[in-house]
Amino acid sequence: MRESTTTVVAAEVERALAGLDFEHVKKTYWEQNEFVCLERWLPASIVERMVAEVERVRPAIHRNYIPRHKKGGSVSYYTLVEQAPTILALYRAPAFIRFLASLTGRPLQPCPESDPHACALYFYTEPGDHIGFHFDTSYYKGARYTVLVGLVERSSSRLVCQLYKNVPGRAVEERALTTHPGTVILFNGDKLWHSITPLGENEERVSLTLEYVTDPSMHPLKRFVSNMKDAIAYFGFRRVFLDSRKATRATQ
């Protein structure tokens, strides 16, 4: 079952990539300081499967509230590995990783199995759910790149992106994006300053993020800081510390 999902997703990703004007996407990505948005790009068949997996993992949502920074729910990589084969197949699709590496000009690879953020779902389900402005800072020795995929969009929330933040001599440009199902946003985590605006009443927004790195090694102290941040701000201590040990053991 899992093997056929992998094959189906790989084929669909290759088909979607074949329909893309790669040179145009690459030019836009670099002109926008390593940020590009592919509006409603993923095929509906893959999106439908991923949305079904969103429903399957709902019982595993872990909610957090950090005053003045974030409020919302998330489901970690460890749960997705067990219950979301389509999402995993997209994350690991060789053609997709090759595309990202060509776009960025960097040797990208998925994050280690012990990283709960490697790919994760973010649920905005209660009024006021949001996340404040931040970079997707890399704790790895190499750079970290984020792929954000819209899956459920029944909200007035926007992904607000500030391009050229901290670029000397360049004015910041702000974009407020709706992450429709199938919309894919790619960026260098150290360069895009971004936030999600608060959810309104009776609204819902679910997005997926896929993280890729140029060098998956990490100093043990940074691993500890990163795990603490993930436990407090995202997935909870049990998920981060116990499941990380399980995932590491499984790959040894």
Q: Which residues bind Fe ion (CB under 5 A)?
A: 136
Measured from the CB atom, the residue of 9 and 179 that comes closer to Fe ion is 179
Measured from the CB atom, the residue of 49 and 76 that comes closer to Fe ion is 76
CB of 31 to Fe ion, least distance (A): 21
CB of 146 to Fe ion, least distance (A): 6
CB of 54 to Fe ion, least distance (A): 18
Q: Are 32 and 111 in contact (CB under 8 A)?
A: no
Q: Which residues pair with 161 in a beta bridge?
A: 175, 194
Instruction: Tell me how long the chain is.
Output: 252
Measured from the CB atom, the residue of 79 and 209 that comes closer to Fe ion is 209
CB of 208 to Fe ion, least distance (A): 12
Measured from the CB atom, the residue of 129 and 136 that comes closer to Fe ion is 136
By C-alpha distance, which of 84, 55, 200, 197 is closest to 132?
197
**Secondary structure tally for the chain: helices H, strands E:** 9, 12
Can you say whether residue 74 is alpha, beta or left, with left for phi > 0 and alpha for psi between -120 and 50 degrees? beta
> Nearest to Fe ion by Cβ — which residue?
136
Q: What angle do CA 102, 104, 105 make, to 5 degrees?
A: 60
